[in-house]
Amino acid sequence: MIAEVVISVMILVFAVIILRTSFLEFYLPQPGFIGFISSPNFYPIFFSIILIILCTILLIKSITPIVKKKRIEWKISIDVFSMKRIAIILISTALYIYCFDKVSFFISTLLYLSILILYLNPQLKYKALLYIVLGSFIVAIIFPEVFKIMVPVR
């Protein structure tokens, strides 16, 4: 329920930004009604207005049961295990992408897989090393060779 409200608000904000930008950068190719509806901004305006209406309906639908309870439970149960996992995966992936055109692709893949596989499978130990080295070799050496993909830094 809370996730629904948060996402609805975020989409609503997105639609409002699009609508505002459309009006700020409005371009009218020819005067009159035909000019207005054939303008590049007409369709984004039209779709963002519908999006705003639908998001508002969803938001009201999601909030109503919370309001009806009268006592809002501010304490949200967060699955710490999942959140920690996702945060580590996302941060390490962001770092991996950041290093993509700066560090050797084989070394960055080796480091990235080491972090993820060892973190996600602490019980694997020596077997994990095999997966990491083999995986990095396939991804960073064989795959680019077979498909003739030029990596920025070998």
Partner 1 sequence: MDWSILFNEWYMFPQVLTSLASPSTFLGIVLGCIIGFVFGVVPGLTALMAMTLILSLALLLPPDICFGAMLGIYTAAIASGGFTSVMINIPGTPAAAATVLDGHPMARKGMAREAIGAVIVSSIFGELLSISIFLITLPFFIYVVLSFGDWEVFLFCCMGLVAAGALAGKDPLKGWITALMGIILGLIGTDPVFGFPRYTFGVSELAKGIDLVAALTGLFGLSEVLMVLKERKPYQLIGKVSFPKLDFRIPIKYPKTFLTSVLVGLWIGFIPAVGEGVSPWLAYDFSRRLSKNKDKFGTGWVEGVIAPETANNATLGGALIPTLLLGVPGSATTAIILAAMYLYNIPVGPLLPRLRPGTITTIIVLTLISCAIGLLILYLLAPLTMHILSLPREVILPLLIPFFVLAVWGSAYTVFDIWTMFLFGILGFALRLADFPIPPLVLGFVLSRPLEMTLRRSIVQYSTNLPALFLRPVGLIIIAILLLMIIGVRRFTKRGQ
Q: CA-CA distances (angstroms) from residue 145 to 24, 63, 111, 135, 140? A: 48, 54, 21, 15, 9
Closer to partner 1 by Cβ: residue 74 or 111: 111
- Chain positions contacting partner 1, by CB under 8 A: 3-4, 6-8, 10-11, 14-15, 18, 21, 25, 27, 29, 34, 37-38, 40-41, 43-44, 47-48, 50-51, 54-55, 57-58, 61, 79, 81-82, 85-86, 89-90, 93-94, 96-97, 100-101, 105, 109, 112-113, 116-117, 120-121, 124, 128, 131, 135-136, 139-140, 143-144, 147-151
Nearest to 58 by CA among 110, 3, 106, 16: 3
Closer residue to partner 1, CB minimum distance, 54 or 66: 54
Q: Name residue 48's amino acid.
A: S
HSE-CB at 137 with a 13 A cutoff on CA atoms is 6
